[in-house]
Structure 1
Amino acid sequence: MSRMVPPERNHPSHTPGLTSSTRITDLIPHYSRWLRGDDRRPRGRDKYVRTIQSVANWIGEDADLSDLDERAVRRYREDMADRALSASTIGNHLSVIRDFCKWAMGEGLRDDDPTWRQQWPSKAEAEPRALTQDELDALLKAIASPQGQDEETVWYWRRNRRAIMTMLYTGLRLSEMSDLVWKDIQFQERRLVVRNGKGGKSRSIPIHSALLAIYLEVPAVDRIGGKAICGKREDGLPLTYKSFANIFKVWLPRYGITITAHQLRHTFASQLLYHNANLHEIQVLLGHKRLDTTQIYLRLDERRKREAVERLPAYVAE
């Protein structure tokens, strides 16, 4: 059976000056503005723009939309596999191509989605990795005091400890933590508000009394609305996502601790489960859209499993 060939796309774009033969590279700024207008998060917008730029570079400097066809997408997917990129990364790139092409379709620049027959790679189910009790004790002991008493060392210790304890007591994602400002801390209500979290969703999390005490260590004059809870030393502005990640990649190893930010989120969930929170409560606190995402934490609780096994009767006659 012969393949249907899309008709020529001579109809005008919704954006003056753009046509189906405009180079992909020249379309990217328009796509970026659309992402901003669609209220995508800044880090997500940047990621989408970088990804579609890498696709354009791979196809060729002068590539236009007609070059981004099913065959090109398939070859690009194969190239990513040859470079041993993860299934998650490959799937993300395909999703960006789909999003970009849907934008182009909305602009009247093309009539098809070249990803519609692509097979998304199967992602290996990630096993949550909470800190063991020994690891948690080691972390808390390591950051109990700074490694020096000079002003700069103490300042960074206070900030980074505040970040770690916030994530441990709230389960915030790294991106959510880096966006957190003081106006998101409602002291009277004792709750923390996550604005525009993953998927654009907001949620609130009660503040544990131990975390509240850490916040109150910060002078009131520094707890000003738009200032980041864990910002830069110079101006209090939020750290970049990369700089925030360096707390875990660079700063914590100096204290002899090697963990990831996401392990604190897993630890928050597993500790809630161990202390009798139900799955729906954990789902709401973590900001999961689907309950089955939260159910992976059932595999974490070794202590509960051990206690369940210990409740079995003694089968060996005494």
Structure 2
Amino acid sequence: MEALNEIIEEYETYLDLEGKSPNTIRMYSYYVRRYLEWGGELKARSALRFLAKLRREGYSNKSLNLVVQALRSYFRFEGYDEEAEKLRPPKVPKSLPKSLTREEVRKILSVIPPTRKRDRLIFLLLYGAGLRVSELCNLKKSDVDFERSLIIVRGGKGAKDRVVPIPAFLLEGIKTYLETRDDDSEYLIVEDRRERKDKLSPKTVWYLLKKYGDKAGIRVTPHMLRHSFATHMLENGVDIRAIQELLGHSNLSTTQIYTKVTVEHLRKAQEKARLIEGLIGK
């Protein structure tokens, strides 16, 4: 067991040096540990048997895909690149990201009381800056440039920093929220506890969005707000490469999925209008 712990610790250091996010490191090391405890070898055939076992346990293609990525990464860490290349992830059908309409965004914001300055700020930063929930929780006061109206998102996915301009009203919201604080925490947003002000947790963000979403009768998640940010920017004519920079995507292909969302939105609008059908009917 001690030897296994050492292997996992070294592997986690390798992932960290590669710039993987804490969540990715946690998931990869979990599956690699399970594989090694199962008796897995540094061979693609052994990995395939392990994947077959997980399939019988009810794992979906999406989950198996993550396991494959973890094992391929581990094989490379151990210097078995050829075996890593033999492992192919199962095909996962690509689904378009779900986004809210502008009216739905307005409706949810309307049910967050103006007195809940922190909660409104959380919602507006997720939607208005397109942040991931982990990026939101890790923001520090020093990451806000009040002079230039922007925030610096440090160590996003792939450990890349990026700059996101924010509108004046959102900057004002940050100032107003900070004025309500009487703690010395370095984090921009903290847990709302009287006894201490801890760093905001993703669990709290999910809870708040569910609470206000239920109140508005709309399902909403942190990622849906990020998707909505990207989709609405594209619909407003913002260049896709600018959106790529704002989202912190390393590959343009990742951002281009939003063009499909917009096309789908336009198709539905066109079908609703029934312009051609109206002409032919006459």
Q: Comparing 86-95 with 160-169, which one deviates more in the overlay?
A: 86-95
Query: TM-score normalized by structure 1?
Result: 0.74
Q: Using the alignment, how far apart are the partners of 1:199 and 1:178 within structure 2?
A: 17
Residue 183 of structure 2 corresponds to residue 209 of structure 1:
no
CA shift, 1:172, in A, is: 0.8
Q: Using the alignment, how far apart are the partners of 2:76 and 2:281 within structure 1?
A: 70
* Number of positions where the alignment pairs a residue of Structure 1 with one of Structure 2: 276
Q: Render the CA deviation track for 1:163-213: whole Å, top value 9, x for unaligned.
A: 111111011111211211111111100011111111122211111122112
Distance 1:132-1:101 versus aligned 2 partners, 3 A rule: same
Higher helix share: 2
Distance 1:178-1:86 versus aligned 2 partners, 3 A rule: farther
Q: Is this contact kept in 2: 1:182–1:228, CA < 8 A?
A: yes
Question: What's the Cα RMSD here?
Answer: 3.2
Distance 1:278-1:307 versus aligned 2 partners, 3 A rule: farther
Q: Using the alignment, how far apart are the partners of 1:76 and 1:250 within structure 2?
A: 40
CA shift, 1:244, in A, is: 3.5
- What one-letter code is carried by the residue in structure 1 that aligns with 2:159? G
SS in 2 for 1:283: helix
Q: Which residue of 2 aligns with 1:131?
A: 100
Residue 73 of structure 2 corresponds to residue 93 of structure 1:
no
Q: Using the alignment, how far apart are the partners of 1:72 and 1:317 within structure 2?
A: 64
Q: Render the CA deviation track for 1:42-89: whole Å, top value 9, x for unaligned.
A: 3332222222122223x14xx6xxx34333200111122223323232
Q: Is this contact kept in 1: 2:100–2:224, CA < 8 A?
A: yes
- What one-letter code is carried by the residue in structure 2 that aligns with 1:42? P
Residue 231 of structure 2 corresponds to residue 270 of structure 1:
yes
Q: Is this contact kept in 2: 1:90–1:121, CA < 8 A?
A: yes
Residue 13 of structure 2 corresponds to residue 54 of structure 1:
no
Q: Using the alignment, how far apart are the partners of 2:223 and 2:72 within structure 1?
A: 28
Out of 118, 138, 141, which is 1:159 matched to?
A: 118
Q: What does residue range 153-232 of structure 1 map to in structure 2 within 5 Å? A: 157-220=116-179, 222=181, 227-232=186-191
Q: Render the CA deviation track for 1:212-269: whole Å, top value 9, x for unaligned.
A: 1211212448499962222223444423334433333456536654311111011111
Q: Using the alignment, how far apart are the partners of 2:4 and 2:82 within structure 1?
A: 15
Distance 1:316-1:274 versus aligned 2 partners, 3 A rule: same
Unaligned runs of 5+ in 2: none
Q: Using the alignment, how far apart are the partners of 1:39 and 1:287 within structure 2?
A: 14
Out of 252, 265, 268, which is 1:291 matched to?
A: 252
Unaligned runs of 5+ in 1: 1-21, 106-110, 146-153
